[in-house]
Chains A and B, each alone.
Chain A
Amino acid sequence: MGAISTFYQTHRTTLGVLIPLAFLILLIAVFTSFNERFLSWVNVFNLMRQSSILLLVATGTTFVILMGAIDLSVGSIVTLVAITAALLLREAGMSAIEIVAIGSAIGAACGAINGVLVVYTRVPSFVATLSTMIVFGGISTWVAGGANVTFRNAEMTWLASGKLIWQIPNSGLWALVIFATAAFVGARSTFGRALYAIGAGGTAAKLSGIDVARIQMIAFIVSGILCGLAGLLLVARTSTGTARMGDDLLLEAIAAVVMGGTALSGGAGGVHRTILGVLVISVLKNGMNVAGVHPYAQIGITGLIVIIAVTLTLDRSRLASVK
């Protein structure tokens, strides 16, 4: 065992926060050198708007990963809610409040379906949510008839792009408020503690009287609701529902959770840490725009950076062998 790896083992908790933070600062420095407007208020608010959706999805994903499961259907729930909302706004002319309620309900229902499959029919979450990912994605394409669904609704636009406080875009505000609440719940509530316990040792948690099935259900439902809210913000920002519009979020959300330091095996990390991963990915995407990187080249570069970041930050101490 080399001195470096010993050092790494001893200070792993601190390094778990410092590495993504250093990565973030590096990215910001690089992009600022390309274009000094990168750190302007205008761009910072732009960054908040862009990262709000990923922040919501990644927050929900963290709950599920903390208990040692995975939710691969997050991107398709975002798409499903976005397209349904767009359709209802265009065809039924519903109000924004009704849309928010319906969108959250659809998200919750999707999460509940995942939960039932995993908890009661005991299908491993990887397989269950991989299948529901296809199902939810298929439904979205079907209801939209394969076409883009465009609508006009001032309330919805305000919801995403309006400014309730100062110059802060509303979407960023909602995402931050929800994230802060979720981080607090994850770190300090008995529900959060139960998630850690289940992720780190399911049998012991069960024998200690924790209602494992109930907690697992709630985690999937919370993940579904947060994806629903993310879908609403996404569609409100663009006023258009498109098939597959949420697909990229799956990899980005999992990468953000892992970069933040939550173990894929569950039981370690935390919701509060996910924001670091979200920022790394959002800064990268925003920065490439500001620096004028060709849009088609951006996709590959994002994937590459995610791999590098995950390689540096993934907590391998609990993986007996990497599978």
Chain B
Amino acid sequence: MSDDRKPIFQMRAAAKRFAGVTVIEDVDLDIFANEIVGIAGENGAGKSTTLKMIAGIYSPSEGSMALFGRAFAPERYTDAVRAGVSMVFQEQALVPNLRVYENFFLSHESKFSRAGGFVDAGRMIDLSERHLRKLGLGHIDPRKVTASYEFHDRQMIEIAKAFVLADFFEVEHPILLLDEPTAAIGDKEVAVLFESIRRFRDRASFVLITHRLSEYMTLCDRLYVMKDGRMVAEMARGEFSTPRIHQAMVGRERDEEYYKEKRQRTVADSDEIVLSVDKLSGGHVKRVSFALRQGEILGIGGLVGCGKEEVARAVVGFEPFPTGGTVTIRGNKLPVRNRGKSCVTANVGFVPKERKIEGMIPYLSVAANMSLAALNKVTVLPGFISAVRESRLARDYIKLLHIRTTGPGQLCQYLSGGNQQKVVMAKWLAKGVDLLVLDNPTRGVDVGAKEEIYALMRDLTAKGVAILLITDDLLELIGLSNRILIMREGEAVTERPAPPEAKPTEQELVSFMI
């Protein structure tokens, strides 16, 4: 972008290597005053690394940074905060059991000390209140415990913290780094967040990373696109569109084949019913019933909190789940006690939302994660694992699902989100499943891997696997499902077939959700 103003932040020819492996290279980046800058790219493209270098969490292996016209070489995050750069972390960096004002000034309390080493809490609270009001966040009481606020309010608290500290360290124009701020909040909260960011921009600059390309379109003034650790494009507002961003990110045009709609299987009445849920109730789920046939994808949509996740939990036996009504797999009613184990035995696979906690075990190897549900398939003597068989199984699935890894022995924590998700899928393929329950399967997954996961889902349905898909991504819900169930406040409000030639529109589905 040609601008006669001077950037307040500059990064020049920056590179970062970890143990000799180059993660990003030759990256130039400018941030101007009052600007919202986006950094787009697939997982592993180097967005987060770039952000962490600006925040002082990583120091560049090569290159230089300058902030407000001076050389900027923070050694740790607190150095960056003092200089006016704050990061809003994806997994929030607030201490939940502290009060809001205590979180604001955490580790800076000494600036408020009074005679005798006591902390002047009154002045901290006053200052906090003044800032919150100025930011239009008057509804947040700095004296309340942070955990008593909802996720999206805590996010606001974190943003407010950046302003409070910037003011405290006498920085006139702070830079806020937002790392996937919308990953865990619903559409309504996203709207509020964006509205606030726009409001705050006259006092700060923002750098945004998100997995939803549309958010770059709505929010950003300028967009950088990264691919394989390099900056491949820089676009000003008006120049970027979703297909263009997409093309720069993956190096190919996004086409209608994205959701593989032509491969959607036509389900016949003769196809066996794999799953039937009858009057499922409990928690705030009210009498939800549906059936799912082999080779079919049933999508459940609805706002966050509508109860669709509870339905998934009941089907796979992930405690706590609604216990009223019945869940039947191939004619066998699932028990309430130990349902999780019965489900695995009944060939039900589950790809959960919280991949790193529920889906896979980051500290175990790729091979150990893949064999976790199918240990009996890699044993020689009963109860003893054969390293050869396990490694062969892992190699097969690494190849089949194009998982990018150094090999079966690599720890899963070092894989990108998309590849981790493929490992979770491989775990269930190795076990062999009749029904696969997917809860937001492409959350935090890059565009390329997303498409591969969609293709895999079509492959599975072609083999007769039934898929129950729970997703917050409307386009995904529409594109993939044979049938769509919309839930609102615990009830199933509509069920609509979605054949490839007559897919519902987003507006149509949204009208049922709210």
Bound: A6/B384 CA distance, A: 36
Shortest beta-carbon distance, B431 to chain A, in Å?
8
**A-contacting residues, B309-348, CB 8 Å:** 316, 318, 340-341, 343-345
| Nearest opposing residue in chain B for A11, CB measure | B19
**A-contacting residues, B358-408, CB 8 Å:** 358-364, 368, 371-373, 375-376, 379, 383-385, 387
Let me know if B352 is at the binding interface, CB within 8 A: yes
**Complex contacts, B341 vs chain A, CB 8 Å:** 209, 211
Let me know if B427 is at the binding interface, CB within 8 A: yes
Let me know if B115 is at the binding interface, CB within 8 A: no
Shortest beta-carbon distance, B322 to chain A, in Å?
17
Bound: A211/B372 CA distance, A: 12
**Complex contacts, B19 vs chain A, CB 8 Å:** 6, 9-10
Given A6-B19, A190-B379, A207-B358, A197–B385 Cβ distance below 8 Å? no
Bound: A191/B379 CA distance, A: 12
Is the Cβ of B384 less than 8 Å from the Cβ of A209? no
**Complex contacts, B385 vs chain A, CB 8 Å:** 188-190, 193
Given A9-B19, A188-B384, A196-B368, A207–B363 Cβ distance below 8 Å? no
Let me know if A210 is at the binding interface, CB within 8 A: yes
Bound: A188/B352 CA distance, A: 28
Bound: A191/B350 CA distance, A: 22
Q: Which of A188, A189, A191, A205 contacts B372 (CB 8 A)?
A: A205
**Complex contacts, A200 vs chain B, CB 8 Å:** 361-364
**Complex contacts, A207 vs chain B, CB 8 Å:** 316, 318, 340, 350, 352, 358-359
Shortest beta-carbon distance, B23 to chain A, in Å?
14
Given A9-B19, A189-B383, A211-B341, A201–B361 Cβ distance below 8 Å? yes
**Complex contacts, B376 vs chain A, CB 8 Å:** 190
Is the Cβ of A189 less than 8 Å from the Cβ of B344? no
| Nearest opposing residue in chain B for A204, CB measure | B361
Bound: A196/B372 CA distance, A: 11
Given A196-B368, A209-B345, A210-B372, A190–B384 Cβ distance below 8 Å? yes
Let me know if A268 is at the binding interface, CB within 8 A: yes
Q: Which of A1, A193, A204, A267 contacts B359 (CB 8 A)?
A: A204
| Nearest opposing residue in chain A for B363, CB measure | A200
Is the Cβ of B358 less than 8 Å from the Cβ of A203? yes
Let me know if A152 is at the binding interface, CB within 8 A: no
Let me know if B357 is at the binding interface, CB within 8 A: yes
Bound: A190/B19 CA distance, A: 34
Let me know if A163 is at the binding interface, CB within 8 A: no
**Complex contacts, B361 vs chain A, CB 8 Å:** 197, 200-201, 204-205, 267
Is the Cβ of B383 less than 8 Å from the Cβ of A191? yes
Is the Cβ of A208 less than 8 Å from the Cβ of B427? yes
Shortest beta-carbon distance, B351 to chain A, in Å?
10
**Complex contacts, A1 vs chain B, CB 8 Å:** 59
Is the Cβ of B363 less than 8 Å from the Cβ of A208? no
**Complex contacts, B359 vs chain A, CB 8 Å:** 204, 207
| Nearest opposing residue in chain B for A209, CB measure | B344
Is the Cβ of B363 less than 8 Å from the Cβ of A209? no
Interface residue tally of chain B, by bracket? 20 to 34
**A-contacting residues, B140-158, CB 8 Å:** none
**Complex contacts, B375 vs chain A, CB 8 Å:** 190, 193
| Nearest opposing residue in chain A for B390, CB measure | A193
Let me know if A37 is at the binding interface, CB within 8 A: no
| Nearest opposing residue in chain B for A198, CB measure | B361
A 17-46 to B, binary, CB cutoff 8 A, 1 in contact else 0: 000000000000000000000000000000
Is the Cβ of A204 less than 8 Å from the Cβ of B357? yes
**Complex contacts, A201 vs chain B, CB 8 Å:** 357, 360-364
| Nearest opposing residue in chain B for A267, CB measure | B363
Is the Cβ of B340 less than 8 Å from the Cβ of A203? no
Q: Which of B345, B372, B379 contacts A208 (CB 8 A)?
A: B372
**B-contacting residues, A161-212, CB 8 Å:** 188-191, 193, 196-197, 200-201, 203-211
Q: Which of A189, A196, A209 contacts B373 (CB 8 A)?
A: A209
Q: Which of A9, A189, A210, A211 contacts B384 (CB 8 A)?
A: A189
Interface centre among B316, B318, B360, B384 (most CB of A within 10 A): B384
Is the Cβ of B345 less than 8 Å from the Cβ of A204? no
Interface centre among B371, B383, B427 (most CB of A within 10 A): B383
**Complex contacts, B373 vs chain A, CB 8 Å:** 208-209
Is the Cβ of A318 less than 8 Å from the Cβ of B363? yes
Given A189-B385, A267-B363, A206–B357 Cβ distance below 8 Å? no
Bound: A10/B17 CA distance, A: 13
| Nearest opposing residue in chain A for B318, CB measure | A207
**Complex contacts, B384 vs chain A, CB 8 Å:** 188-190
| Nearest opposing residue in chain A for B386, CB measure | A188
Interface centre among B316, B345, B368, B376 (most CB of A within 10 A): B368
**B-contacting residues, A276-323, CB 8 Å:** 318
Given A191-B383, A211-B341, A197–B372 Cβ distance below 8 Å? yes
Bound: A263/B345 CA distance, A: 32
Bound: A204/B352 CA distance, A: 9
**B-contacting residues, A216-235, CB 8 Å:** none
**A-contacting residues, B409-462, CB 8 Å:** 427, 431
Bound: A193/B364 CA distance, A: 10
Interface centre among B19, B350, B357, B375 (most CB of A within 10 A): B375
Interface centre among B345, B362, B431 (most CB of A within 10 A): B362
Q: Which of A9, A10, A206 contacts B340 (CB 8 A)?
A: A206
Shortest beta-carbon distance, A222 to chain B, in Å?
14
Bound: A196/B412 CA distance, A: 14
Using a CB–CB distance below 8 Å, which chain A residues touch chain B? 1, 6, 9-10, 188-191, 193, 196-197, 200-201, 203-211, 267-268, 318
Could you show 29 A-B contacts with beta carbons less than 8 Å apart? A1-B59, A10-B19, A188-B385, A188-B387, A189-B383, A190-B379, A190-B384, A193-B368, A193-B371, A197-B364, A197-B368, A197-B372, A200-B361, A201-B363, A204-B358, A204-B360, A204-B372, A205-B361, A205-B372, A206-B340, A207-B316, A207-B340, A207-B359, A208-B344, A208-B427, A209-B341, A209-B373, A267-B364, A318-B363
Using a CB–CB distance below 8 Å, which chain B residues touch chain A? 19, 59, 316, 318, 340-341, 343-345, 350, 352, 357-364, 368, 371-373, 375-376, 379, 383-385, 387, 427, 431
A-B complex: 6 closest residue pairs judged by Cβ atoms: A209-B344, A201-B361, A200-B363, A208-B373, A208-B372, A190-B375
Given contacts A1-B59, A188-B387, A204-B359, 8 further A-B contacts (CB under 8 A): A9-B19, A188-B384, A191-B383, A193-B375, A200-B362, A201-B362, A204-B361, A209-B340
